Amino acid sequence: MISSCGIDIAAYEPSVKGFTQYTEPGKVKVYLACGVPVIITKVPEIAAEIDKRGAGWVIDYDTTELADGVRRLCTDDGFYRSARAAATTFASEYSWTEIFRRTFEGMQAHENQPISSDMETVTLTKPASSGI
């Protein structure tokens, strides 16, 4: 259903009492994965990446800016197509396959190197083959 939409809106209200600026909203990644450009307020951290990658329109929590974003995405076909392509490319970095690939590459890069914390030092080692 989302992929049939032309634009998705993620309007987070800025608040000193809230915690949205510290979250990683999942719905935005779903919109992007469906190739749908997002109009998003500057509140969550992902907004800066959307802006940098051109995967949508980043706004203040303001109705005039929201209307401008909708107007731009609806009337500028080149911008709209570019934002759709950028959305899909950006979202591909959040697939589970890609997340696990990066995680395991990072683990391999640190294999047999001590990892320190305040509690203890741990060394990552490759487990012995189980023959399965």
- In whole angstroms, give the CA distance from residue 27 to residue 49: 15
Instruction: Return the pLDDT at 58.
Output: 97
- CATH number of the domain encompassing residue 71: 3.40.50.2000
Query: Alpha-carbon torsion 52, 7, 88, 61, what sign?
Result: positive
Report yes or no on 13 lying in a domain. yes
Report yes or no on 132 lying in a domain. no
Q: Which residue has the higher pLDDT, 131 or 65?
A: 65
DSSP 96: H
Examine the pLDDT at 114 and tell me if it is beyond 70.
no
pLDDT per residue over 6-35, tens digit each? 899 999 888 877 766 667 788 899 999 999
Please report, as a single letter, which amino acid is at residue 20: T
Q: Which residue has the higher pLDDT, 107 or 117?
A: 107
Instruction: Return the pLDDT at 53.
Output: 96
Report yes or no on 47 lying in a domain. yes
Domain of 60, in residue numbers: 2-97
Coil/strand/helix, residue 100:
helix
Number of domains observed in the structure of the chain = 1
What pairing do the DSSP bridges indicate for beta strands 114-116 and 56-59?
unpaired
Instruction: Return the pLDDT at 131.
Output: 56
pLDDT per residue over 35-77, tens digit each? 999 999 999 999 999 999 999 999 999 999 999 999 999 999 9
Report yes or no on 127 lying in a domain. no
